[in-house]
Amino acid sequence: MPVLNSLDALIEALKRLPGVGQKSAQRMAYHLLQHDRLAMPRLADALTAAGENIKHCERCHTFSEAPICGVCADVERDARLLCVVETPADQAALERTASYRGYYFVLLGRLSPLDGIGTRQIGAAELLARAAEESVEEVILATSFTAEGEATAHVLAEALKARGIKSTRLARGVPVGSELEYVDLGTIAHALTDRR
């Protein structure tokens, strides 16, 4: 295999980011080299520090520099509620709404049998143990509405039900501010079915 020069190595490294192809990686690399060389060491330092310091919370599995994240350490949160999400990014999105004050459990993925990702890989056993704690009254399944997310929610709901633990699923429907004629038919159908 040929040895990459520094520019090619930078482009190859940038292509590892999600949604970044060859052209986007080239654009980023050229921008940094031509317009913002001062950002390059800061970016490298931030990547190194994040790689060394950020781990997973021992309780919920989100990203944290401490063994227990700030959310899990917050005793003011509602211990009766446990929200299950696929990724730390999903947890951050829910937190930005400022409408949920319970705790979380981050699966770090979703079921995908074709990729060899089963219940063990997403931490289902740890979730069931966490949900069985005395204080938990409801587990909110906030997985995505993709086929894998739906399958994950279904499998977890069945496992929780078998243990006598109440679970609910995020509602879905027409986005706020949208006009009905422009909403896809699947979303309209789910909104009708899940109406309240």
Give the pair of three-digit tokens for residue 4: 């990459």
- Say which residue, 82 or 171, is predicted with more confidence: 82
Q: Give the pLDDT of residue 182.
A: 81
Contact 68, 57 (CB under 8 A): yes
CA distances from 174 to 140, 182, 188 (A): 20, 10, 6
pTM: 0.83
Give the pair of three-digit tokens for residue 21: 């192809």
C-alpha span between 166 and 169 (Å, rounded): 11
Q: Which residues contact 109 (CB under 8 A, 6 or more apart)?
A: 86, 87, 117, 121, 122
**What does the DSSP 8-state code read for residue 1?**
-
Asked if the model's pLDDT at residue 2 lies above 70, the reply is no
Q: Give the pLDDT of residue 66.
A: 97
Asked if the model's pLDDT at residue 153 lies above 80, the reply is yes
Asked if the model's pLDDT at residue 131 lies above 60, the reply is yes
Q: Which residues contact 106 (CB under 8 A, 6 or more apart)?
A: 56, 57, 60, 61, 62, 85, 86, 87, 88, 90, 91
Q: What is the pLDDT of residues 29-73, one digit of tens each?
A: 999 999 999 999 999 999 999 999 999 999 999 999 999 999 999
Q: What is the pLDDT of residues 103-112, one digit of tens each?
A: 999 998 999 9
